[in-house]
């Protein structure tokens, strides 16, 4: 590398007698000695493969710092490969999760040898994807679980996941999970808003400069899916070459969950599509992939694949369903309803948020070990029986209703606390009563105006809030109901708000907050759905 640090890599070639286009894989998870079958596939089709341990991991020298090291190290590695006698100077990059993130970072510099990338379940912004959320809450479960499995001190045996996620103050949770202080965790806590620190590490801030063709793959139940789609939409405004596939998958791309099986058609020939992608850009072959529409999504509910020409879908009609009821929307047995028009008069709904007893995470787009932190679609009725969860539901639908795109919730709310959280979850209710989660989101009250500016609330004042509730593609079938859950926690997917207004990373005091949700003609609380005309 440019600073003298040496990174270890394995090189696999189709033969010893030619120069080849090369696919680079940069991993923090141990390159090992052998080439896995999914990479051997590319060698068998005429590509060299380079698999490298990133800086500070396994056989590579240096100190691991994922927020700063990858652009330069990726660029230096590309230049090294291009100089080798077995390389023809045309390089692609491949891989998922962190192995996808490093592709985005390498692409910042538009290295002339990097002809295409193929990130899988990766996202494109460290703040919004890996550490915080679009609403400013810390992605506690993801971060601590990843560190406990990958960055443990030698000989350290961590307590169970359910224990270390409750560590207070939050600043000590890295030690509880790994047996040592982790600088990356401390830096993230020092910068809870989207400031210059995060912009310096952001691919999102550099998308206009990026010239490398991107074929990305994501899943509706993966934590990076919203970011994957946002990156694609932004890139397509500059160039038409990019492609994306989104399936009904979690982070590991499996097609079966504990409670739900989307069927044998839920898979996709991703490896073949990636081969066509690299053949197009590294071998200058015309391939079927480039003659097809640039977007392929799996529509849940009807469980079918569909090709599209843009994202978000231009034909989507943003449709509001308004909160209604007589002030007793608590639990699934309450009177909360969703209607086509806002009620003229309505009694506000109230609940108490106790961070000592937060609403537990139940599936969804979480990461990264389902044995410890289950992901995907689950029956939400146990969650909906809690009195601190408001439940608003339509009558059974008289015809199918497709929702494909970004979902948002406009909430008129007040709180007794100087800072608190509000959550929203979209649910498909089956005639059997099963309540299947589709997508969700959270807003930290202090970031209601901007992630760049923290602003405390005044007790009892009504605020208009907008919650980014994620993205989905689902047909609510005839006889099903559309449901929305409103609460103030989703733990441990996100950290608990202690409701004190003080810096959360160092807080040890947890206080209850009284929450009020208003829904009348002057306060039209609603969920906004991207409805696709039949």
Q: Which residues are catalytic?
A: 97, 222, 251
Three-state secondary structure of 49-63: EEEEECCCCCCCCCC
| Displacement of CA 515 from its chain's centroid (Å) | 27
Cα-Cα end-to-end distance for the chain: 55
294, with CB counted inside 10 A (0-12, 13-18, 19+), is buried
Query: Between β-strands 513-518 and 390-393, what pairing exists: parallel, antiparallel or unpaired?
Result: unpaired
**Distance of alpha carbon 484 from alpha carbon 174, whole angstroms:** 34
**Distance of alpha carbon 500 from alpha carbon 327, whole angstroms:** 27
Which two tokens mark 509?
Answer: 């005091």
Which two tokens mark 318?
Answer: 């943003």
On whether the CB atoms of residues 141 and 366 are closer than 8 A, the answer is yes
- What is the Cβ-side half-sphere exposure of residue 279, based on CA atoms within 13 angstroms? 16
| Crossing angle for the helix pair 37-44 and 270-282, to the nearest 10 degrees | 40
CA distances from residue 435 to 91, 215, 221, 332, 338 in whole angstroms, order as listed: 46, 34, 16, 10, 15
Using DSSP, state whether 253 is helix, strand or coil.
coil
Which of 193, 219, 222 is closest to 127 using CA atoms?
193
**Distance of alpha carbon 165 from alpha carbon 153, whole angstroms:** 18
């Amino acid at each position: 590398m440019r600073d003298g640090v040496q990174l270890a890599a394995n090189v696999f070639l189709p033969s010893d007698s030619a120069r080849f286009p090369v696919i680079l894989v940069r991993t923090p998870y141990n390159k090992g000695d052998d080439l896995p079958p999914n990479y051997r596939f590319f060698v068998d089709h005429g590509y060299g493969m380079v698999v490298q341990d990133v800086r500070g991991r396994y056989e590579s020298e240096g100190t691991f710092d994922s927020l700063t090291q990858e652009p330069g190290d990726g660029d230096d590695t590309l230049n090294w490969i291009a100089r080798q006698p077995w390389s023809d100077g045309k390089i692609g990059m491949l891989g998922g999760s962190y192995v996808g993130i490093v592709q985005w970072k390498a692409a910042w510099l538009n290295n002339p040898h990097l002809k295409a990338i193929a990130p899988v379940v990766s996202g494109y912004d460290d703040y919004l994807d890996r550490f915080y959320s679009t609403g400013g809450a810390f992605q506690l479960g993801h971060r601590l679980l990843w560190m406990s499995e990958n960055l443990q001190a030698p000989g350290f045996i961590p307590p169970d996941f359910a224990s270390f996620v409750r560590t207070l103050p939050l600043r000590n949770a890295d030690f509880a999970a790994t047996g040592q202080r982790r600088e990356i965790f401390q830096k993230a806590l020092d910068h809870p808003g989207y400031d210059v620190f995060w912009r310096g590490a952001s691919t999102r801030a550099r998308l206009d400069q990026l010239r490398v063709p991107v074929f990305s793959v994501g899943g509706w139940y993966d934590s990076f899916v919203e970011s994957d789609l946002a990156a694609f939409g932004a890139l397509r405004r500059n160039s038409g070459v990019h492609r994306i596939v989104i399936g009904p998958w979690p982070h590991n791309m499996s097609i079966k969950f504990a409670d739900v099986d989307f069927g044998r058609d839920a898979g996709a020939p991703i490896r073949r599509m990636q081969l066509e992608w690299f053949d197009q850009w590294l071998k200058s072959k015309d391939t079927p992939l480039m003659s097809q529409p640039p977007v392929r999504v799996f529509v849940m509910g009807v469980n079918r694949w569909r090709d599209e020409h843009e994202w978000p879908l231009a034909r989507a009609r943003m449709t509001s369903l308004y909160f209604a009821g007589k002030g007793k929307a608590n639990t699934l047995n309450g009177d909360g309803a969703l209607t086509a028009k806002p009620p003229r008069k309505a009694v506000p709904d109230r609940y108490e948020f106790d961070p000592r007893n937060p609403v537990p995470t139940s599936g969804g787009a979480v990461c990264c070990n389902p044995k410890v932190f289950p992901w995907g679609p689950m029956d939400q009725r146990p969650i909906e029986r809690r009195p601190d969860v408001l439940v608003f539901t339509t009558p059974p639908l008289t015809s199918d209703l497709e929702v494909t795109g970004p979902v948002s919730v406009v909430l008129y709310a007040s709180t007794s606390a100087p800072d608190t959280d509000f959550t929203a979850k979209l649910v498909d209710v089956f005639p059997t009563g099963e309540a299947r989660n589709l997508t969700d989101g959270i807003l930290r009250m202090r970031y209601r105006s901007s992630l760049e500016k923290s602003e405390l609330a005044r007790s009892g004042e009504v605020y208009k809030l907008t919650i980014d509730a994620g993205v989905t593609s689902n047909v609510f079938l005839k006889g099903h109901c559309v449901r929305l859950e409103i609460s103030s926690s989703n733990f441990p997917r996100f950290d608990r708000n202690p409701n004190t207004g003080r810096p959360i990373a160092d807080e040890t005091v947890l206080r209850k907050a009284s929450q009020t949700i208003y829904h009348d003609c002057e306060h039209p609380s609603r969920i906004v759905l991207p409805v696709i005309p039949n």
